[in-house]
Amino acid sequence: MSRRSRRIDDPLWKSIIEQTFVHFLSFFFPDADDIFDLNRECEYLDKEFESLFPPEPNNKGVRYVDKLVKVYLHDGSEQFVLCHIEVQSSKGTGDLAQRMFEYFYKISDKYKVPVTALAILADGNKSYRPEIYVQEFMGTSLSYRFNSYKILDQDETVLRADSNPFAVVVLTALMAILHRNVTDEELKEIKHDLYEEMIKREMSKDTRQGIYDFLARYVSFQKPEMFINFEKEVETKLGRNTTMGTREYLLEKAKNEGKAVERANAVKLLQEERAKAEAEKLAEKLDSALEFKKLGVPDADIAKALGLSVDQVKAL
């Protein structure tokens, strides 16, 4: 099996960072609780980032994802967090360190806000590990250092022991690097293992769904039906242990559908009762109309008094 046969879904990084952002901050910055006001909603600046750095035309070989987020500190001030993910080393396609510096100075110049930058290197090149940009010329020098996180350097055992939900995201990327040449069946077992790692950790329903989607789709099966099989097997696990399932939303959906059926039945019953009452009321009116007819009251007068049609009265 060639390496080309396994497709990595790079854009999933952008969504998973957004879906797990508080955990993301805590994972990479252990003192995040002391620095950031995590109770305050952050702002994702995708459009603002693209206005500063428009996608390059015909750049199909580029394998990186960027995310710019505005966060708040405990003192109320703003700060930007820039995350850049490289899925393959950019040697020969541009200098990552230079690009990180360009990001920094353009964002700082535009918004006048402190920026912390993080490069997540999800490639398999052991020697590729940029973390500093240096420019020197005739006694003038500039040095820009940014946070750099090499997934290939991470210890699988440490990640499995980490209770932070984002550890499962990193573990998923690490498994993708270490097990590139597995069969579809082996890949399915890896995904099940990642699923088990996920359900061990406490997290919100939305976060759990986001991480599940990431681990399920980050590396593609060669045969599409294998993904369907994996999904079915996960649903089987849900049936055995619904309290720890990833797809709580399926249970919620089923619950809501059940409520919808109950509502529909209630509406139907109400309509039937209303029709029954109206029929009984009509019968009473017709009985009264018949008595008035026996007394010789004109049909038109009877109809008007009882709210019936003249034809209904004449038919008696």
Of 246, 268, 298, the residue at which a domain comes to its end is: 246
State percent of the chain over pLDDT 90: 32
Residues 218 and 306 in one domain: no
Residues 125 and 11 in one domain: yes
Structural domain of 18 = 3-153
Among candidate residues 105, 135, 153, the one where a domain is terminated: 153
Cα(187)–Cα(181) distance, integer angstroms: 9
3-state secondary structure at position 75: coil
pLDDT tens string, the chain, 316 residues long: the values are 444 456 777 778 988 998 999 999 999 998 988 999 988 888 888 888 888 888 766 555 455 788 899 999 998 899 899 988 877 655 544 588 988 999 999 999 998 988 999 999 988 888 888 889 999 999 999 999 999 999 999 999 999 999 999 999 999 999 999 988 889 999 999 999 999 999 999 999 889 989 998 999 888 888 888 888 888 888 887 765 433 333 444 455 455 556 566 566 666 666 766 676 677 778 778 887 787 777 778 888 888 777 788 888 888 8
Residue 36 β-bridge partners = 73
Three-class secondary structure of residue 179 per DSSP: coil
The reply to whether 225 falls in a domain is: yes
User: Is residue 158 situated within a structural domain?
Assistant: no
Amino acid 261: pLDDT: 62
* pLDDT value at residue 180: 84
Helix boundaries (H) for 29-125: 32-35, 46-52, 96-111
- My answer on whether 87 and 210 are in the same domain is no
pLDDT digits (tens, 9 = 90+) for 121-142: 988 888 888 889 999 999 999 9
Residue 286 lies in a domain: yes
172: closest CA among 199, 150, 198, 147? 198
Nearest by Cα to 13 from 106, 100, 121, 103: 121
Please give the pLDDT value at position 129: 86
Provide the domain count of the chain. 3
- Residues 133, 19, single domain; the answer is yes
Asked if 7 and 121 sit in the same domain, the reply is: yes
Boundary-marking domain end, from 228, 246, 264: 246
CA dist 8 and 129 (Å) reads 20
Look at residue 134 in the predicted model and tell me its pLDDT.
92
Q: Is residue 166 part of a domain?
A: no
- One domain for residues 16 and 138: yes
In a domain, 120, yes or no: yes
CA angle in degrees (0–180, nearest 5) for 26-28-34: 45
Q: Are residues 9 and 148 in the same domain?
A: yes
Whether residue 226 sits in one domain with residue 209: yes
| 8 within some domain | yes
Residue 313 confidence (pLDDT): 82
Q: Mark whether 23 and 104 lie in a shared domain.
A: yes
**Would residue 19 count as lying in a domain?**
yes
Within the chain, strands assigned E span 43-44, 64-72, 78-86, 115-121, 132-137, 140-145, 147-150
Q: pTM for the full model?
A: 0.70
Residue 83 and residue 131 in one domain: yes
pLDDT score recorded for residue 299: 84
Does any domain span residue 164?
A: no
The answer on 135 and 195 residing in a single domain is no
Same domain membership, residue 91 and residue 48: yes
**251 CB-contact burial (10 Å; exposed 0-12 / middle 13-18 / buried 19+):** middle
Q: How much is the pLDDT for 311? A: 85
Please give the structure tokens belonging to residue 57: 């035309």
